[in-house]
Structure 1
Amino acid sequence: MSVTAPDPRRRRRLGAVAAASLLTLTVAGCSGLGRTAVGPVTYTTDREAVVEVNSPSVRGCHRLAPTGAREVENGTLVDIVLYPTRDCTGGGTTYLATTFTDVAAESGPPWHSYTFVH
């Protein structure tokens, strides 16, 4: 009975296939999870109420209080865009980088919604 040594090229190919399969399974397993912007979005309304939203989803349009917000602090790890409308459309937007705060001008409209830049 003769035993032959395994072919090193075949072993490398099998290793590459196994690694690719594992990576594919990992990505597929995580893709269904709802991605969030880690950290809080904190804002102050016209009535001086402070609202904090922790780790909101990075997808979609997020509405602020019905009266809007005069000051918004982005404590998340993702930049946001502030809108003066309730549906994240139109002009007059402001880009708010992570760890920054924006104060709306008293003469302008308050912020009513935001989206994440991703």
Structure 2
Amino acid sequence: MSVTATVHRRRRRLGTAAGASLLALAVAGCSGLGRTAVGPVTYTTEQEAETTVHSPSVRGCHQLAPAGAHEIENGTLVDIVLYPTRDCSGGGTTYVATSFSDVVPESGEPWRSYRFVH
């Protein structure tokens, strides 16, 4: 075996190790990115205005239109909880499973925010 072949093998091993290390760092760096609920959340206000939010983050409280929503369709892959308040607090919540929808009864308060169940 020649010295040149040995040097090439060492360089190849070092290159492979360096590449694997960089890949591991890149994956670790990306793991901090926010996960999204794949699919749309579509809601309708009392004035019949329809709004669609595509793949929102699964973290945090999401506010709906200031006047609130009267119909909502959860087209995401994650269940949601609807709130009558703007800050996802208090009672009177409604659970909407993935691929389902819900309508506020005529005597009910509109939803003003939602949070994903995860």
Q: What TM-score, normalized to structure 1?
A: 0.77
Specify the alignment match of 1:53 in structure 2. Answer: 53
Q: CA RMSD in A?
A: 1.8
Residue equivalent to 1:112? 112
- 1:30 offset after TM fit, Å? 3.2
For this pair of structures, how many residues does the alignment match?
98
Deviation readout 1:48-105 (Å, 9 max, x if unpaired)? 0000000000000000000100000000000000000010000000110000000011
| 1:29 Cα deviation from its structure 2 partner | 3.2
Gaps of 5+ in 1: 1-20
Give the whole-Å Cα distance in 1 for the aligned partners of 2:78 and 2:58. Answer: 8
CA distance in 2, matches of 1:102, 1:26: 41
Amino acid at match of 1:108: G
SS at 1:69's partner residue?
A: coil
Name 1:72's counterpart in structure 2: 72
1:44 corresponds in structure 2 to: 44
> Which residue of the partner structure matches residue 99 of structure 1?
99
Structure 2: 5+ residue stretches without partners: 1-20
- Counterpart CA distance in 1 for 2:70 and 2:56 is 20
Give TM-score, length-normalised by structure 2.
0.77
Supply the AA of the counterpart residue of 1:80.
Answer: I
Equivalent runs, 1:72-91 vs 2, <5 Å: 72-91=72-91
